[in-house]
Structure 1
Amino acid sequence: MLDRSRVIAANEYRRERWKNGTGWTREILRMPDRTDWNWRLSIAEIERDGPFSVFPGVDRELVLIHGNGLRLRFSDGEVRELQPPHGRIRFAGERDVSSELLDGPTHDFNLMWRRDAVAAELLHRPLVGPMLFFTEPGVSWAIHLLAGQAKFDQASELPPLWAGDTALLVDGEKRGRYALEGGGELLAIKLMQR
């Protein structure tokens, strides 16, 4: 699924315009790294009310990571709010949705995956002591550190994680084990090839 395990520092994220041109995103990673990706991680910077881009065939999950909240209005009448500290919502990318800021700009962690190629599960967890992540053929993890600092065991040969960084733990020919220690809060995304 991925070429190698690695840490992407927050200052390496690519800032680019939304597909519909009405906002900005800091792209953490897309896999594979081309326009027809199977999954993508980014941080949406929402500075004003407006429509979201439409992504047919893609499922999405948003997690509020900074700001005072976001209201999503879907064209079918559903209304959902992402409230601090880490409100979240999962929805189909083809749904028409507009956002309304509740009290100032927000930053929202954005996981997107093509439902015919990948299954994804996003977990929000405190980091208090050690956590173990296992990779295997067809199963990878992305770990986004929301707050605090952490480090992997020496065998992983990965650098430390600081708040805002993301680690990619890749599937290989055999089962892999990654031990993460530290203090803080994280998002752990399990990505499974279909």
Structure 2
Amino acid sequence: MPEQGDWLLRLSIAEIEQDAAFSAFPGIERELVLLHGAGLRLRFTDGRCVTLLPPYQRLRFAGEDELTGAPVDGTSRDFNLMWRRADLHAELLHRSLAGSMTFGSEPQVAWAIYLLTGQIAFEDAAMPAMQAGDTAWLGACEHRRHLLHGSGELLAIRITPAGTGG
């Protein structure tokens, strides 16, 4: 696992099989999405209790928050988005796709695409086709349009520098 100062943005997937404490990440914002399983119960030391339920319920919280996660009725699989709040702003969107969708990269806008279900192909032949569970990075660059075609559901994460208005 990278040290605290080694990254600005992190995407990961975790299997939670039993009650477990979450690692603390001071200065980090987190967003957790339930991918598979009957649910994930999050218990915060401040008394909050939130249960993420299928399909794809999510929760955003501070990396400093102390909490434990307990899967509901078996193992859960979760998508975890983390970003350093002093440096970045991240917006996670859940979208269905039937046909085409366009994402625009700009000098201060990048995208991460995680395919939940289905399959997609990019208009740009240099980009590989994606199956469920694949991730694509559309880096910040001079005004570029990324057109994709397919069907399914995806998580789209828009990443911008902090303080640029998101």
Q: Give the aligned partner of residue 44 of structure 1.
A: 14
Query: How far 1:118 sits from its partner (Å)?
Result: 0.3
How many Å separate the matches in 1 of 2:29 and 2:14? 16
How many Å separate the matches in 1 of 2:49 and 2:105? 37
Secondary structure of the 1:130 match is strand
The residue type equivalent to 2:39 in the other structure is G
2:130 is the alignment partner of 1:161: yes
State percent identity of aligned pairs: 54
The residue type equivalent to 1:146 in the other structure is L
Kindly provide the CA deviation profile for residues 27-80 of structure 1, in whole angstroms up to 9, marking residues without a partner as x.
xxx9xxx95200000001111101100000000000000111000000100110
Query: How far 1:85 sits from its partner (Å)?
Result: 1.1
Aligned ranges for residues 174-185 of structure 1 at < 5 Å? 174-185=142-153
Compute the TM-score of the two structures, normalised by the length of structure 2: 0.93
Q: Which runs of 5+ in 1 are unaligned?
A: 1-18, 20-29
Match of 1:171 among 129, 140, 143: 140
Q: Which runs of 5+ in 2 are unaligned?
A: none
The residue type equivalent to 1:178 in the other structure is H
Secondary structure of the 1:159 match is coil
Kindly provide the CA deviation profile for residues 82-134 of structure 1, in whole angstroms up to 9, marking residues without a partner as x.
00111100000000001111110011000000000000000001111100000
How many Å separate the matches in 2 of 1:111 and 1:74? 18
Q: Give the aligned partner of residue 103 of structure 2.
A: 133
Compute the TM-score of the two structures, normalised by the length of structure 1: 0.80
How many Å separate the matches in 2 of 1:160 and 1:123? 21
**RMSD of Structure 2 on Structure 1 (CA):** 1.6
Match of 2:94 among 124, 144, 160: 124
Secondary structure of the 1:129 match is strand
How many Å separate the matches in 2 of 1:35 and 1:83? 33
Across the two proteins, how many residue pairs are aligned to each other? 162
2:85 is the alignment partner of 1:85: no
Secondary structure of the 1:45 match is strand
2:27 is the alignment partner of 1:57: yes
How many Å separate the matches in 1 of 2:20 and 2:120? 36
The residue type equivalent to 1:171 in the other structure is A
The residue type equivalent to 2:49 in the other structure is V
Q: Give the aligned partner of residue 5 of structure 1.
A: none
Q: Give the aligned partner of residue 157 of structure 2.
A: 189
| Structure 1 residue ranges, 4+ long, deviating more than 6 angstroms after superposition | none
2:116 is the alignment partner of 1:115: no
Query: How far 1:193 sits from its partner (Å)?
Result: 1.5
How many Å separate the matches in 1 of 2:49 and 2:76? 18
2:42 is the alignment partner of 1:72: yes
